Amino acid sequence: MIMTNEISTGKQRQGIQSIEVGTRLLRALAAHGRPMMLRDLARNAGMPAAKAHRYLVSFMRMGLVEQDANTGRYDLGAFALELGLASLSRLDPVRLAGPILDDLCEQIGETVALAMLGNHGATIVRWVEAGGPITVTLRTGTVLPLARSATGRAFLSYCRIPLMKRLTERELRASAAKSGQPIAALIAELEGIVSEIRLHGISRASGSLTPGINGFSAPVFDHTGHMVAAVTSLGAIGQFDTDWNSPLAIAIKESARALSQRLGYGDSLPPAGASVLGLIAR
């Protein structure tokens, strides 16, 4: 099925104006976030109260709007909720990320990618290569370590699901066995990194995974406020500015925020919950 944007093509089919006008009431209810009196709803929708009431009667018959019998306030109805849930169920982070990643790659001139949490860890599911003299190896299916990569650190900082604890504990115990360091020391180091990431809303890594390569990664949230993906960019040390407030970092955060909004998330960052690091035995 090919879907077209009539406005962008300069063509606009004839529609039903009354439906478009009535939709202003639904938008006003959705934006307000709580039940509204008729006068306030009409004012926010930019129409007389008598006209708004006629629309609301029809919307109530359809289940799009409901009215509290005690307060007289209007709110979105059961059918509006059903439509919203159906729309959310069709949202695919990988598909929606496509144009956002393309725009980000063009804007910053660096390789960018989308990662999601898989059974083995933070996994690249889509990537756009910037080209240039230095090629950053990043392919679909690549699994990045949680502790040493910018992408993994983003998930460590914001993803709160049981799988994260198991993956993190397995990785840290393997690192402790290889390096001879106590696992408590590795956790303490990571806790400082996580605190810094949460302060700035983006994670970074400099040469810790691949020598000569820097990385930034910003979290992507769905409509429930859960982290579902990360927008990542990698580049060569000396060309890739890892300052927390660099234009590069800001652009990556904005792209992650744009994708979060497409997935139904409204705020910039959710309240930080307990880190999975605190759940690991030391």
- pLDDT of 5 strictly over 60: no
What would be the CATH architecture of the domain defined by 17-89?
Orthogonal Bundle (1.10)
Domain boundaries, the chain: 17-89, 93-279
> What pLDDT is attached to residue 280?
66
Q: What is the pLDDT of residues 60-78, one digit of tens each?
A: 999 999 999 999 999 988 8
Average pLDDT over residues 89-118: 89
Q: What is the pLDDT of residues 120-178, one digit of tens each?
A: 889 898 989 887 655 566 678 888 999 999 999 999 999 988 888 888 989 999 999 99
Q: Which residues 6+ apart lie within 8 Å of 154 measured at CB?
A: 122, 197, 202, 203, 217, 218, 219, 227, 230, 232
> Which backbone phi and psi does 201 adopt, to 5 degrees?
75, 15
CATH number of 93-279: 3.30.450.40
> What pLDDT is attached to residue 135?
56
| Secondary structure string (H, E, C) spanning 68-127 | CCCCCCEEECHHHHHHHHHHHHCCCHHHHHHHHHHHHHHHHCCEEEEEEEECCEEEEEEE
- pLDDT of 11 strictly over 70: no
Please tell me the distance from the alpha carbon of residue 191 to that of residue 71, in angstroms, as a whole number. 49
Report yes or no on whether pTM surpasses 0.75: no
Bridge partners, residue 206, by sequence: 214
Q: Which residues 6+ apart lie within 8 Å of 200 measured at CB?
A: 244, 249
- pLDDT of 219 strictly over 90: yes
Give the CA angle between residues 168, 172, 177 to the nearest 5°: 155
- Give burial (CB, 10 Å; 0-12/13-18/19+) of 238: exposed
> What pLDDT is attached to residue 6?
44
> What pLDDT is attached to residue 18?
82
